[in-house]
Structure 1
């Protein structure tokens, strides 16, 4: 490892940054290095408001104690990962810890949309980012146009969640009765549970279905009569929940590289423009201001499917206008026409 560069006089921001918890510091370092821009100690110190000495100590711990494939490139003068790092192994949470997070997520429902909810969500997000790869929690703010009914968590929900966690961590098959949204009744499914995640304010299981030869998404509230089987499976080492869901606009998955992407362009105005511009809706999104004050914007994203984006566009009413692609325009028009017929 290269010698530590001499630091200049510490700024107040750098001194305060050094007191931040080690968990926060190393997670921030991990995120920056993951961008692949080969940052060095000085670069990382500026971006995290830490001292180069603290950065050097944290990097040594990440490499030597956590086993991360972290090395310094003498040619590019910066750090990089020599192998893919999908999950940051900061915390090893127990089953009870994860169940507590599940309950805490529901406990925040009455506060949704308030300043307190945002503050607590940011704190829980730091914990969620360090969860094992088998579970993820996405803390998205909810638009004021939606309402939430505050209710307690049923004991059956906690039991189901805990049993699924055990199955995911032990790589044991599960079987259950499942009622699809488009189905007329429940059907029995046997799957290899890969991942339990909180997505768009709902809990979902991502599991490989041997009968269908693909990974499928199951809403926990529609899973009934769950049984954890004795049979074990080998988890696909190439599976990554973020990659699996990355092509869609929510919980729908369209596989990876199986379909050409749709380049979606939507014009928003008024309050919708401001709300859309404030939030991260999709990893590929780009926002372009059409008016200097931000009252009119253009939203762009690359999506593998159009089902969920169609519903999202409709939820904004007259404040949203689809610019492309033609397939999305046609979908929105068909839905509006069907709605008018029903009203008539």
Structure 2
């Protein structure tokens, strides 16, 4: 199993690369970024684990070398928002970065599982899909938006109500998208069942939806949720790799192109969105079946879902539009 981290030198990329280096499922690990990758790879190469590791920079066809023979490509590449930068500025930069990386995947390893972490996931996954479609290499069963951090937060923040020593033992489906009000935790469908007091539910949902802000504030503007995101990205990557190696009954919420996954059409019709995060059965071919738990939502959750659909449709359109009508390159100041 060869894994690639594209964006391996960044705040998410480094801890994610560490977790993958330590993972016994990974035989080869290739790191790619625009700076520092040989240093990160050398540092990690001293760890006594199975994975053989190499680091690549853009020079000398580095992206192609990193991606050659890849089974799974995890993409945390992108920049965090800096002071004075609008969300639109950030979108254009990160969208351009993802576009370039996906073009590399389409050319070099189109059969790999592609896991997109780069924000905004609600738009970068549709960008990836459009790029792959253009290249005639789109396999919707192998393109995933990683929304696992929302699941991890939903589990963790409910711990005070569940009393469970290990919060990950409570299965809480989180559906929709991966930003703000597009994130919808379905506590009514937790297994084992969770009883959240009515007067505490709004605050709990809000905390799951805007957990990223909590981290930015605590880091006093010097960073965002990088370590928890690396953990969540690894948790999902590990699930995909286990399924690829034949392990059964692996179900994880992930942001997928619904019309391309069994069971997805029904969810697309119900939500009005072609891309949506729902629990997905993972197998050797990737996304085997999408589970429609939208229809199980209670009245409170249905109201949250209405807001989710509105925001998500715009995010998806923005990603598709970026590929169909690329913005002009920014003027150099």
TM-score, structure 1 as length reference: 0.25
Q: Which has the higher strand share?
A: 1
Q: Write 1 or 2 for the structure with the bigger share of helix.
A: 2
Which structure's CA Rg is the greater one? Answer: 1
Question: TM-score of the superposition, structure 2-length normalised?
Answer: 0.26
